[in-house]
Amino acid sequence: MTGRLVGRVALISGAARGQGAVEARMFVEEGARVVLGDVIEDELRATADAINATHPRSATAVVLDVTRPDQWMAAVAVAEREFGGLHILVNNAGITNERYGGLCDIEDMPLDAWNALLNVNLTGVFLGMKSAIPLLRSSIRPLYEQNPRLTASIVNISSAQAIRPSPGQSNYAASKWAVRGLTKVAASELGPMIRVNSVHPGPIDTPMISEMLKTNLSVLQGLIAETPLERVGTAEEVASLVLFLASDESSYCTGAEFLVEGGRTAATVAKK
């Protein structure tokens, strides 16, 4: 621990497992206190308990369906009540097409699958920011007035699909492209006290990828073949980037896209 987030409070959605859980653990190890939100209640509370076992009173869990404004407001209220404020928001929650039967061309895309991904992946990010902004601003103001490099941070998890989309993912790619645009608008509105950036992972070894393996192994193999580093990434690699953006080390970064995708968007064809 180097204390990169000492004195800061974070709210992370989709934190029960995978990338969000790793982010929560990493934040706490760097001195933050964290509110973990998710709809998978049993895993969520287990993750918070595991964090508190090694870092007492550093984490609390709240059921958070990111499509529900009331649950967002409740999560923000927990941050203020339990930890006295909020300095960091990580909009990590998201879903893929796997729960709707896998990849699907536009002409065959069911409307419920289209709406579901945009509701979680895009509207969930909008609601998270809308709910958290007032407390982010009031919490960071005393620090910012002492030093303008001390700011609040919003990190929106988008996808490499927002840079280089793939066929069969119109709803997913559209939702993540929109998060990219929403991030830039938010950055222009919320400065100078709140920074907003987006992170764009490629295929990452999480439970979400495990779901893809069950139905679309060939798709995953194709993605790896198009990736110069020739592997999927790890949740720790993504979380390390999110930690950087949450910390004051990134104090002059806002409205930007940060890729963690093994170079896939730089490559135009698969290597022979």
List active site positions. 172
Q: What is the DSSP string of the chain?
A: ---TTTT-EEEEES-SSHHHHHHHHHHHHTT-EEEEEES-HHHHHHHHHHHHHHSTT-EEEEE--TT-HHHHHHHHHHHHHHHS---EEEE-----GGGGTS-B-GGG--HHHHHHHHIIIIIHHHHHHHHHHHHHHHHHHHHHHH-TT--EEEEEE--GGGTS--TTBHHHHHHHHHHHHHHHHHHHHHTTTEEEEEEEE-SEESHHHHHHHHH-HHHHHHHHHT-TT-S-EEHHHHHHHHHHHHSGGGTT--S-EEEESTTGGG-SS---
